Amino acid sequence: MKKSLLKWAAQAMAVVAIGAVATTSVVAQSVDQEFARELKLIEALKTYNQQKQEQISAQGVAQQEIQRSIQGSQGLGQEIGGMLKPMVDAIDRFVKADLPFHLDDRVAGVNNLKNLLNSGEASNSSIFRSIMDLYTIELEYGNTYEAYKDTQDVGGNQIEVDMLRIGRVALYYQTKDQASSAMWDTANKMWKALPDSANRDLRKAIKVAAKTTAPELLNLPLTAPEGV
């Protein structure tokens, strides 16, 4: 009986010992896995921190570049500011010396630029854009032709006439009854009456410019360029 009890007790202790060893092995394995995960996390954090540091350094370089650009643009703004008034004065002289077509609108455009310069409210960049817009419009006039209505002093009376502009080469008007036609004399800055023989071709040219008839070759008088 005693031998049986001793044998059973020995077997039980052996089972407990085996269980303890097994438990110790599982715990050790779990600790190793946790440690490995922590190491991976630390490495990931190191990589993340390095990337952030590189981004911060790049942002610092970009900030310095932006600051230098701002400082450079301030000097450029002063240079542009000094160019604005001469540009407006130049286009003012040009409009006054040019053929007198759409004169009210063109003079109003120049006056608007002068007001912008004197107001002190508009930025140099916005004034510069406005100047370039007006320059572009004036440039287009030299590449186009048109017919439009206006009023002119004919025989001491202000009457409606048909105007014909051919680029910046010539400017004409003709009364509605085709009885009177004239051409702008650039050299003398005045209207010059045309002979009756020019009325027919001028009427055709006005219709061509108005796109109410097909283009054709016409014989129109031209003034000689200044100095010729």
Q: What are phi and psi of 187, to 5 degrees?
A: -65, -40
Q: What are phi and psi of 164, to 5 degrees?
A: -135, 120
pTM for the model stands at 0.63
* Beta strands 170-175; 190-193: pairing state: unpaired
Sign of CA dihedral 75, 76, 77, 80: positive
Cα 152 to chain centroid, rounded? 39
| Tokens matching residue 167 | 């680029």
Contact 184, 175 (CB under 8 A): no
Residues 62-113 pLDDT 10s: 556 555 644 554 555 556 778 899 999 999 999 999 999 999 999 999 999 9
pLDDT in tens, the chain (228 residues): 544 544 544 554 554 455 554 555 555 566 667 767 767 767 766 675 676 576 667 666 655 655 564 455 455 555 677 889 999 999 999 999 999 999 999 999 999 999 999 888 888 889 999 999 999 999 999 999 999 999 999 888 999 999 999 999 999 999 999 999 999 999 899 999 999 999 999 999 999 999 998 887 878 888 755 544
Q: How far apart are CA 193 and CA 15, in angstroms?
A: 132
* C-alpha neighbours within 13 Å on the C-beta side of residue 11: 6
The packing angle between helices 2-97 and 124-141, to 10°, is 50
Q: How far apart are CA 170 and CA 147, in angstroms?
A: 12
Give residues with Cβ within 8 angstroms of 90, minimum separation 6. none
Q: How far apart are CA 98 and CA 93, in angstroms?
A: 9
For 72, the 3-state DSSP assignment is: helix
